[in-house]
């Protein structure tokens, strides 16, 4: 089942934290590996991360967020 994950659930909050980290700060290989482990642990993590990233990117494309604008990492940045 591909239901969305409640953004206020523990998984939703964790996903939001990961998405904010990826989009907002230098992301060293160790952090990328930790994110990959988290994503691999549960399909719900992948859905929640995708939802959180989509919201942040949409906000970054609008004028809601202050400068600097959010830049999306390459979509395959965490692909194996």
CA–CA dist 32, 45 (Å, integer): 15
Tokens of 80: 């194996």
52: nearest Cα among 70, 34, 33, 37? 70
Q: What is the pLDDT along the chain (80 residues), one digit of tens a residue?
A: 567 888 889 999 999 999 999 987 788 999 999 999 999 999 999 999 999 999 988 887 665 555 555 555 555 555 54
50: nearest Cα among 14, 19, 22, 13? 19
Full-model pTM: 0.71
- Do 52 and 18 touch, CB atoms closer than 8 A? yes
CA 15 to chain centre: 6
């Amino acid at each position: 089942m591909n239901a969305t994950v409640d953004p206020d659930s523990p998984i939703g909050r964790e996903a939001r934290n990961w998405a904010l980290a990826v989009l907002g700060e230098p992301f060293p290989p160790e952090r990328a590996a930790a994110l990959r482990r988290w994503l691999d642990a549960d399909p719900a993590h992948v859905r929640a991360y995708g939802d959180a990233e989509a919201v942040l990117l949409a906000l970054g494309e609008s004028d809601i967020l202050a400068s600097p604008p959010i830049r999306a990492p390459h979509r395959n940045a965490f692909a194996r």
